[in-house]
Amino acid sequence: MKSIVTHFLLSLALAGPALAATEPLATIDLTSDAGVAAVKGAWKYSDARIVEIPFRAPDAAGQPTGREWITNDIEPHAGPADFDDSHWQTVEPTSLAARRGTGRVSFNWYRINLTLPDNAAGSSVWFETRLDDYAEVWVDGEIGRQFGQSGGSVVAGWNAPNRLLIERNARPGQHIQLAIFGMNGPISDAPTNYIYLHEAKLQFLPGSEAPVAVTPHEVNIAVERDDPAIEAIVPANAKLFKIAEGFQFTEGPTWVRDRQALLFSDPNHNTIYEYADGKPLAVFREHSGYDGADIAQYGQPGSNGLTLDKDGRLTINEHGRHRVTRLERDGSLTVLAASFEGKRLNSPNDLVYKSDGSLYFTDPPFGLPRFFDDPRKELPYSGVFRWKSGHLQLLTKDLKGPNGIVFSPDEHYLYVSNWDPAAKTVTRYRVRPDGSVAKGEVFIDLTRQIPGEAALDGMKADVKGNLYLSAPGGVWIFDANGKHLGTLRAPKAVHNFAWGGDDGRTLYLCARSALYRVQLLIPGIRP
């Protein structure tokens, strides 16, 4: 009897809001023309097939590093949000119940990009689909899998509904990419029928602006292994876990050993949050970057980069206040830097301390409402600065969008990433004995390799001197000579990260609306 009760309570905990859902405020039927028009979407369709691929047998520890052999996979991998389905067949909403696939053991994909309507503002959005025979559902490139879960993002059972929360606090005009993987079944006794959608609908319920810590659960991760050296960094069977969600934009994380917690910014929400395992998500500091009367004009008024000095005091880059501050033990703030040569700083972005107590930080205008063209911008350049004992020194103004900043383990070099679509580079500067830097050299250049407007963001290093770079496509890992070793691809775009945990091998990823973590093999450099 006890095991039955325990299982029931576990089911309640995993289902959470799904079981407690009240009557919807509104429902949109995505199998109707009117429903699809309401979300400005279009259904795209493709068959899927089983293909043979090379893989490895399990080693003594059960990990895939043994002898090479052949296994099976599904093609295409259409779950990621940036998958290009433009060449796929467009199907009418009213035809979703038509039989598709090839019958017997067969698979397919249905994809739709939704634009949330104006009247959805502030609501929680649930997606429910019922597919004959089984379905898996990807939301914005993510498929979560949690112990005991059934009927959310994973297979629910024979013709059973998959129902899952796809947004906690809807914003009008927000885009959400859904991908539904269909399967005919039972697979072990293949039927003579085909795959089709019984229903697909959105339900809008009362929402919450507050982000939350969630039960850590595994989500999809892809690891590109371009060099054998990556095997010493990323486990053969790497696991990525989602630990919190519902943010506007996550940034600037740092691990605080005294609190055994991660502090990180949401510059859009003007808040610093605290995450600790097994505890509710906490607000560490409100109005973390600005509280002026014109705050509504700012896209990112809050804090960005966070780090600790050698005494464990939190140092904060405040976008809206154009300054760098230090939080003292008594709760007061000390302003370290707010202007240079009589002109106000732009919006300090990322920062790092050197072992001698000097602070290095980048100062692009990305926290200003109109960036480079903002009338509040006083400095005619984007600088990289050094602060020491109350003195502020300009190190370089060569980069258009200096962003991430990190030292090599021996502090002989300073690396600065550049958010500039025309020059997606990491520049390396030799650090002189007096703390200044020599003329920089381009160390990594991804300009041609990565098209589009997105560029390079946060950056960290491990104790072996490997560099970890936030760039389009994920976390790019380079060795100390600038050679690309591999890339970690999380479901959502990663903009910054920090090392944490007891041994410093856990990498916490700030990925826009979510917070993830992954265990690696080499400790990182931590403040």
Share of the chain above pLDDT 70, in %: 96
Distance CA(254)–CA(327), nearest Å, equals 14
Instruction: Please spell the DSSP secondary structure of 406-432, one letter per residue.
Output: EE-TTSSEEEEEE--TT--EEEEEEBP
The whole-number pLDDT of residue 473 equals: 93
pLDDT class of 147 with cuts at 50, 70, 90: confident
Is the peptide bond prior to 117 cis by the omega test (within 30 degrees of 0)? no
pLDDT for 3 beyond 80: no
Label residue 324 by pLDDT band (50, 70, 90): very high
pLDDT in tens, 331-361: 999 999 999 999 999 999 999 999 999 999 9
CATH, domain range 24-206: 2.60.120.260
pLDDT over 70 (residue 16): no
Instruction: Kindly state the average pLDDT of the residues 247-274.
Output: 97
pLDDT at 4: 30
Fold agreement (24-206, 212-519): no
Tokens 């240079």 found at = 340
The model's pLDDT over 380-423, given as tens digits with 9 standing for 90+, comes to: 999 999 999 999 999 999 999 999 999 999 999 999 999 999 99
- Give yes or no for residue 135 having a pLDDT over 90: yes
Kindly report which listed range (10-19, 30-39, 120-129, 364-373) carries the lowest average pLDDT score.
10-19
Q: Between 2.120.10.30, 3.40.50.12280, 3.40.50.2300, 3.40.50.300, what CATH number should domain 212-519 receive?
A: 2.120.10.30
Domain locations in the chain as residue ranges:
24-206, 212-519
What are the pLDDT digits (tens) for 469-482?
Answer: 999 999 999 999 99
Close Cβ partners of 138 (under 8 Å, ≥ 6 residues apart): 79, 80, 153, 177, 178, 179, 180, 181
| Full-model pTM | 0.93
Half-sphere exposure of 480 toward its Cβ, with a 13 Å CA cutoff?
A: 11
If pLDDT is split at 50, 70 and 90, which confidence band does 22 have?
confident
Tens-place pLDDT, residues 76-87: 999 999 999 999
Q: What is the pLDDT of residues 168-196, one digit of tens each?
A: 999 999 999 999 999 999 999 999 999 99
User: Does the CA dihedral 374-380-382-384 come out positive or negative?
Assistant: negative
How confident is residue 209, by pLDDT bands cut at 50, 70 and 90?
confident
